[in-house]
Amino acid sequence: MEGKAIPTSTTLHDQLTARFGILLSQAQLAELLGRTIGGLRFSLSVPTDDSTRALKACGRRIGRRVYYPAVEVARIISEPATR
């Protein structure tokens, strides 16, 4: 495994910020996670694991829309998943 860098939340945060900006919309988050928007909304409405609960909790409502900070999404994605 020489030469392969393990992505940290900082590098992931930088990549997400470069691609999407500092806030991700639900459509962008769904694209990142490889989900449909409807599937993401369903998962967030009935969270079954810690990662989904953390994603739901980090959502910020701005007007009628919900946005997700790239730094929080990077932290959640880079953490090991537990049930």
25 falls within a domain: yes
* pTM of the predicted model as reported, rounded to 2 decimal places: 0.81
Residues 6+ apart with CB under 8 A from 9: 71, 74, 75, 77, 78
Domain that holds residue 60: 9-78
Q: What is the pLDDT of residues 2-45, one digit of tens each?
A: 555 555 666 888 999 999 999 999 999 999 999 999 999 999 99
Confidence label for 79 from pLDDT (cuts 50, 70 and 90): confident
Q: Is there a domain that residue 3 lies in?
A: no
Q: Is residue 1 part of a domain?
A: no
Query: Considering its fold, how many domains does the chain have in total?
Result: 1
Supply the pLDDT for residue 75: 93
Assign 61 a pLDDT band (cuts: 50, 70, 90): very high
Kindly state the average pLDDT of the residues 56-61. Answer: 96
